[in-house]
Amino acid sequence: MSAINSKVKLYNNIFKRKDPLFNTSVKKQRRFINKLSLPVTDIDRSYNQYLCQKQCNPFFINLFTNIGSFPLYFYFLYLKKNDSLRDKKFVSALFLSPIENIKNLPSSLLKEYINLEQEEISGFYLTKSDKKFIKSISKYHKFSYFFLLKCILKISVYRSKIMAFNPNAIIVTSEYSFTSSILTLFCNTNNIEHINIMHGEKLLYIRDSWFHFNRCYVWDDYFINLFNINKIFCDEYIIEIPDSQKKWHIENVNIEFDFTYYLQNQTRKELMLISDIMKNLKKQGYRVSVRPHPVYSDLKIINKLFKGIHIEKKSLIIEHSILRTKAVISLFSTVNRQAYNNNVEYIIDDISNKKKYNQLKDLKYYFIEKNHKVLSLYIKN
């Protein structure tokens, strides 16, 4: 399973365009979503989401991934041996997500499912009925091998977890996955509820369209409206803010910085501009810091570009990072919400990529529609 995930990531990393979120115009996204047929089944929903995600890639990437998936599809469906079964352990719910997302679990779910277990997205097991289910999907989408391959891999993970834990519910953070609706169908067929929780800011993005879950937990009714625009269907929406997004009650955190910039998935050119911005602020006498992104930031590049600027260590928890600065700076990071909830000023970067900043309104970014301060107000030439 890890080997194929590595291959899929390799395809994506080598061939993907930078920032498909900003490189695909909102008007083009809306036109494409609206021309698709309304889904009748969850298989239709997943396939619509897959078609939408293809719009974010150039033709040759879609062609390459589909051709590369052709032999892998047959290997995993017919030749791959199942993993050894683990000792059975009964749990009320399984949280199938990286461990760092534990903090985003709503309190009500933790109370509802006292015996909840967190597991990484790994494992491979397919029963005869699972293979029959997969073949029923392929009957309608014979030549979409990347689509079918991803379905096989996700179904095999779910089956391996069901065999090991026999949960009443599977909780995920997978609205971005085009397999999510098919997995809801798969779960329901196995008498399991499929629940998705919000784990970061959401924009009006074609990637997150059409999906279906039994329950969707969101932080604000604003996001229900956003999801409705993207043709999303949830049996039940529940508005609940997890503790990680509420006001923190942490004592003895002293203010050490005036500005902290929270990096995301910036290009090298954007990082160079941000470096110049932070040096400008430092030259004015401000205390400044930069926090690398835990996934996207290359520390070698960050250390090289931000010489003379304080760079936060990974070990510093996000709560202390935000509370020890007077203002956070980012483009559209979840950090803006965390700062807002804790009475820390948030500043939106309108300098390092002006085009992206201007697009945030079309993308219906929650905080761009509120009164906000912009970074250019603080820069002196």
- Convert the pLDDT of each residue in 309-318 to its tens digit: 999 998 999 9
**What confidence score (pLDDT) does residue 63 get?**
96
What's at 130, amino acid-wise?
Answer: D
How do residues 204-250 score in pLDDT, each as one tens digit? Answer: 999 999 999 999 999 999 999 999 999 999 999 999 999 988 999 99
Residue 65 phi, psi (nearest 5): -65, -35
Average pLDDT over residues 4-9: 47
Buried b (16+ CB within 10 A) or exposed e, 42-81: bbbbbbbbbbbbbbbbeeebbebbbebbeebbeebbeebe
**What confidence score (pLDDT) does residue 18 get?**
55
* Continuous segment of H or E residues that includes residue 95: strand 93-96
Question: pLDDT tier at 86 (50, 70, 90 boundaries)?
Answer: confident
**What confidence score (pLDDT) does residue 19 get?**
65
* CA gap 296, 108 in Å, rounded: 31
| 257-378 has CATH 3.40.50.720 classification | yes
Contacts of 173 (CB under 8 A, 6+ apart): 97, 101, 104, 196, 197, 198, 199
**What confidence score (pLDDT) does residue 70 get?**
96
Where is average pLDDT lowest: 17-21, 28-32, 257-261? 17-21
Please state the domain extents for the chain.
2-243, 257-378
Please give the sequence-ordered ranges of beta strands (E in DSSP) within 137-291, or none if there are none. Answer: 169-172, 193-197, 212-218, 233-239, 257-262, 288-291
* CA gap 142, 114 in Å, rounded: 42
Q: Residues 309, 312, 313, CA angle at the centre, nearest 5°?
A: 135
How do residues 279-293 score in pLDDT, each as one tens digit? Answer: 999 999 999 999 999
**What confidence score (pLDDT) does residue 14 get?**
46
Residue 304 has pLDDT above 50, yes or no: yes
What's the predicted TM-score (pTM) here?
A: 0.88
% of the chain at pLDDT higher than 90: 86
* CA gap 66, 108 in Å, rounded: 41
Distances (CA, A) of 270 to 105, 240, 305, 354, 363: 33, 35, 11, 10, 20
Residue 12 has pLDDT above 60, yes or no: no
* CA gap 294, 316 in Å, rounded: 11
* Contact (CB, 8 A) for 300 and 281: no
